[in-house]
A and B are shown apart, each in its own frame.
Chain A
Amino acid sequence: MKNGSIISIKNVTKRFPVGEGEFTALKNINLEFQSGEFAGLVGPSGSGKTTLLNIIGSLDSPTEGEALVLGKSISKLSHKESALLRNKHIGFIFQVYNLLPVYTVYENVEFALLLQNIPKVQRQKMVMEALDWVGLASMADKKPDKLSGGEGQRVAIARAIVKKPVIVIADEPSANLDAENTYAILKTMRELNKNIGTTFLFSTHDEKVMGHLDRIIHLRDGAVEEDEIINVKTLTK
């Protein structure tokens, strides 16, 4: 792992059994991500974006090669160790938000902190701070079914960043959002990236999202086609 690198993907191949045969989702991928990056994996469906993010998020492991996240080899982690890694250092944002329906906005955001046994007073402070970041402090008592799509995704962002993780993995975060909401959540994520230094990794084929990324990695048929550094300094609507 290079100096400053928090994610190192070395010769990673991922195959899935399909019927009698196998499907290769990732072919010999090599990538490095530095702390504080705002990067995206771009490509058509089936190009391996989500598979790679799942491996980085320790939800899956490579068939071949090595994925090092924060110095830990994903293949070698036990269930408990990978759960601890996700709990402490990785936040997830999903395409369909995956909010827990019976909990309020506050409770959804609080969930990750409950797992870390953080005292109630501190938890309360952290949750309200996260909700402030995404502009939903006034909706803390609402249930997810009372929120709009944009609000739901902002709650998911708050849940992902409340524990101040090193990495946030966002899998097609704008797929269910209109242009205005997409802009709003990207702006929020960009600010968080700058303010708390969290690394954001996206998977997307939304051009609106691509326009805001510092780095775009183009994937096709499970291989890296192009690794493009853009370095966007400011966000514009």
Chain B
Amino acid sequence: MKLAFQLAYKNLVGAGLRTWLNVGVLAFSFIIIIFYNGLIDGWNEQAKHDSIAWEYGNGQLLHADYDPFDPFTILDGHGVLENELSKNLAPILLRQASIYPEGRMFSVALKGIDVNQTTLKLPTASLKNSNAKIPAMMGINMADAANLKKGDEVLLRWRDQGGTFDAAKITVVDIFETNVPTVDMGQVWIPIRKMWKMTGLENHTTFYVANENFQPSNISGWKYQSQETLLSDLNEIIAMKKISGSIMYLLLLAIALLAIFDTQVLSVFRRQKEIGTYISLGMTRAQVVGLFTVEGSMYSIFAMILGSIVGIPLFAYLAKIGIGMPAASRDMGVPLAERIFPVFGIQLIVGTILLVVIASTIVSFLPARKIAKMNPVLALKGKLQ
């Protein structure tokens, strides 16, 4: 085997430009595969981190009648949880409402939140410190859509406990920036105590967000959704994105492998005299097949070295400064930061190396198998077989 590597190295280096073209294409594939997966992994990490920090906490305790995917359950999906059980939980009361910025009606999810909570990253201290009659905060995308800015007053209309419409002006005391659209778009946040008074639903909560000290247990009338459950949708979206992206890089890899395959097929034809010489010098056919296969694999090893020379500084730079994402991408409804910091883990790099090395070995072996059936006499004469 050592001999095959020695000979393959000499043959490849001796082949000059043909080798370096294949190596270049394969190295490019290496870099693209690692870059794209690193970007997705970085996005995954960022999206999970932000979703936990801004929305999911350590899990959520939902009222049994509330279904986050069914807006009709908002009206009745709330209840009161005993004080003793609500330790380590941040309460949120959800009602449907409308605001009227510049006379336009704007349907919103009105969310009451405990101003003292520290479980979520929402800047509820702004609500606490405000002297406004009904202080409110919203995300920057919501504020943009409603054309509202800090200090603006806007009319809010909601239904109280009995279903009667009521209205009052709220003051926008804070506009926060977040990557999590589900706490931003169409959401208005006010103190929960104000909301209890406005709706008459004293001490009622639609769902709680748990902190890390919360111990889940069966509580009658409430259902617990773990952090993993809440993140499952996000995981599915990212997995889908990874699959769709993988088509692109598999195509690229296929082109690179095709170049190796093509070179190998050509080699077996063009180097027949050489093959015959190897056999006449005492190499077995299996050794010659092995030599040609190792030559093909070596393309991927050279590509790995070239890819490392180009890729390591590039990836280190990108991992440090991040990659800017276009604003339009944030409309997808998935947490997406302005800059994503790719994550280039060992698993990704080792996995990619194995994928490329194994794939290039296979495509090298396929044409090399022909050598095993070659007649050495005809090979020495360079006759096509």
A38 within 8 A of B: no
Q: How far is the CA of A224 from the CA of B83 in the complex (A)?
A: 113
**Complex alpha-carbon distance, A86 and B376, angstroms:** 12
Among A27-35, A101-109, A201-209, A226-234, the stretch in contact with B: A101-109
Chain B residues lying within 8 Å of A80, measured Cβ to Cβ, are: 284, 286
Of residues 103 through 131 on chain A, the ones whose CB sits less than 8 Å from some CB of chain B are 103, 107, 111-112, 114-116
Q: Which of A41-49, A52-60, A64-72, A210-218 contacts B (4 or more CB under 8 A)?
A: A52-60
Assess A83 versus B277: contact at CB under 8 Å? Given A102-B14, A107-B10. no
Interface string of B351-385 (1 = CB under 8 A from A): 00000000000000000000000011100100000
Pairwise interchain contact A83-B13, C-beta atoms closer than 8 A: no
Once bound together, how far apart are the Cα atoms of A102 and B15, in whole Å? 7
Indicate whether A87 sits within 8 Å of B279 (C-beta atoms), given known contacts A100-B274, A102-B15: no
Verify B281–A87 contact, CB threshold 8 A.
yes
Asked if A83 contacts B380 (CB within 8 A), the reply is: no
Decide if B277 touches A100 in the complex (CB within 8 Å): yes
B13 touches A102 (CB 8 A): yes
Query: B283 at the A/B interface (Cβ < 8 Å)?
Result: yes
Asked if A88 CB lies within 8 Å of chain B CBs, one says: yes
Chain B window 149-164, contacts with chain A (Cβ cutoff 8 Å), 1 for yes, 0 for no: 0000000000000000
Residue B78 lies at the interface, judged by CB distance under 8 Å to chain A: no
A94: interface (CB < 8 Å): yes
Cα distance A60–B281 in the bound complex, in angstroms: 14
Q: A102 contacts B380, CB within 8 Å? A: no
A83 touching B15 by the CB < 8 A rule?
A: no
Shortest beta-carbon distance, B378 to chain A, in Å? Answer: 10
A164 to chain B, nearest CB (A): 14
Which residue of A has the minimal Cβ distance to B280? Answer: A92
Task: Please state if A86 and B15 are interface contacts (CB–CB under 8 Å).
Answer: no
A112 lies within 8 A of B284 (CB): no
B276 within 8 A of A: yes
**Chain A contacts of B11 at CB under 8 A?**
102
Residue tally, chain A, CB below 8 Å to B: 26
**Is A114 a contact of B3 with CB atoms below 8 Å?**
yes
Across-interface contacts of B273 in A (CB, < 8 A): 96, 98
Residue of B nearest to A171 (CB): B380
Contact call B281/A112, Cβ cutoff below 8 A: yes
A175 within 8 A of B: no
**Residue interface mask A15-41, B partner, CB < 8 A = 1:** 000000000000000000000000000
> Which residues, 109 to 166 on B, are CB-close (under 8 Å) to A?
none
Q: How far is the CA of A60 from the CA of B7 in the complex (A)?
A: 26
A84 at the interface (CB under 8 A from B): yes
For residue A79, CB closer than 8 A to chain B, the reply is yes
Question: Is B285 engaged at the interface, CB distance under 8 Å to the other chain?
Answer: yes
Residue of B nearest to A55 (CB): B377
Given the complex, which residues of A lie within 8 Å of B15, measured CB to CB? 102
The CA-CA distance from A100 to B281 in the complex, in Å, is 11
> Are B282's CB and A98's CB within 8 A?
no
Residues A86 and B280 in contact, CB atoms below 8 Å apart: yes
Q: Is the CB of B283 within 8 A of A83?
A: yes
In the complex, the answer to whether A101 meets B14 with C-beta atoms within 8 Å is yes
A107 to B224 alpha-carbon distance, docked (Å):
73
Report the nearest B residue to A81, measured CB to CB. Answer: B284
Q: Which residues of B contact A54 (CB under 8 A)?
A: 377
Q: Looking at the complex, which one of B14, B282, B375 makes contact with A115 (CB distance below 8 Å)?
A: B282
Quick one: CB contact mask for A149-193 with B, threshold 8 Å, 1 for yes? 000000000010000000000000000000000000000000000
The CA of A88 and the CA of B279, in the complex, are separated in Å by: 13
Is the pair B380, A94 in contact by a Cβ cutoff of 8 Å?
yes
Q: Which residues of B contact A (CB under 8 A)?
A: 3, 6-7, 10-11, 13-15, 273-274, 276-277, 279-287, 375-377, 380
